[in-house]
Amino acid sequence: MASLSTTYTLNVNYPTNRAALSQNLHDDGVNNLILVGNPGSGKSTILNALMGEVRFKSGFSVSGLTQVLQIEKFMNVNYIDTPGLEDIARKKQAGVEIEKALKKDGTMKLVFVVTLEGGRIRSADIATIETVLGAFKPEFKRHIQYGIIVNKMQLEWMEEDRQITIVKAFSDILTPANKIHFMRFDDRLNHENIVVDLPPDTIKFISTVKNMNPPPGVILHIITTEFNEKVDQMTKDLMAATNKINQLQAQLETMSNKSSVKATRFRVRKGRKVHRWSCRFIKDSDYVPTEVSEYSDGDQCILCLDG
């Protein structure tokens, strides 16, 4: 399952500003920082913020302002902006440009920038991630590393329960596991060609996305001819994942209400943890809540997190 947020190790000096990030990328041997996202996701604005000046054209455009691969170098690191696959008229060319970025020599960090629609994951963004990752040869799949920035998050979407739902939906559809970062909506970033300071936790996140160095021949062609079909399929998959999560949450709420009047305690056979009847356990990792009396040693209490 994808991480809800990046876990930072104590006593490690992670970069918290653009200059420190550039030095960090350089010291870490990163040659290419590649951002992939659909029109309006904000990837160009993020890149400008990382570089501290307007190098990438940003702002509102129906078809997206990034139409070809754009590379800007700073401290020997290539900051790379790519066009979005959702632009129907330029979809094929966008695939070619993204492919060029992935095939650049050297070590890369790959970051997808997505947005929500009404608080829900957009199927076009999922289809984009799947299409791009599909360019890697099957034998390299387990070596793929990438991060996802969920950009322009409204305040009400920043609640932990909502973030967990989003992460779970991503995990049900995408492989391999990835790290996800949630970035608050900033109205300043909606203006054309503007440079602002990114939140320190966003800069930390980018620095912790794992590097990738695909050998020659690992990147195949990005196939865009089935993109629309993938969007349709992703819409169905997202709906199914959301329904599954909603059903689980409803079951948990119902069971919690039924058992709220019970305060009976008992000790588990292993360890000293004391559970109540309000505790619920996940059975065999299938996300089906069960009465506390029916758990086994391999199950985990989802309230106490100590089964």
Instruction: Give the phi and the psi of residue 79 in degrees, each rounded to 5.
Output: -90, 120
Q: Of all residues in the chain, what percent carry a pLDDT higher than 90?
A: 28
Rounded to 10°, the helix 160-173/123-133 angle is 40
Question: At 285, is the pLDDT very low, low, confident or very high (cuts 50, 70, 90)?
Answer: very low
pLDDT for res 11: 37
What does the alpha-carbon distance between residue 259 and residue 239 come to, in Å, rounded to a whole number?
Answer: 30
The arrangement of secondary structure in 18-238, i.e. its CATH architecture, is 3-Layer(aba) Sandwich (3.40)
Q: Is the whole-model pTM more than 0.95?
A: no
Q: What rounded mean pLDDT belongs to the chain?
A: 77
Q: List the structure tokens of 83.
A: 């066009």
pLDDT for res 274: 54
Lowest-pLDDT range of 17-26, 66-75, 207-216, 246-255: 246-255
Write down the domain spans for the chain. 18-238, 261-307
pLDDT for res 1: 41
pLDDT for res 265: 39
The total number of residues written for the chain in this structure: 307
| H helix or E strand, kind and range, residue 244 | helix 227-259
65 residue type, one letter = L
Count of CB atoms within 10 A of residue 114's CB?
Answer: 25
What does the alpha-carbon distance between residue 123 and residue 237 come to, in Å, rounded to a whole number?
Answer: 9
pLDDT for res 95: 92
- What are the pLDDT digits (tens) for 65-87? 556 899 999 888 999 999 989 87
- Which of 132-141, 243-252, 256-265 is the most confident on average? 132-141
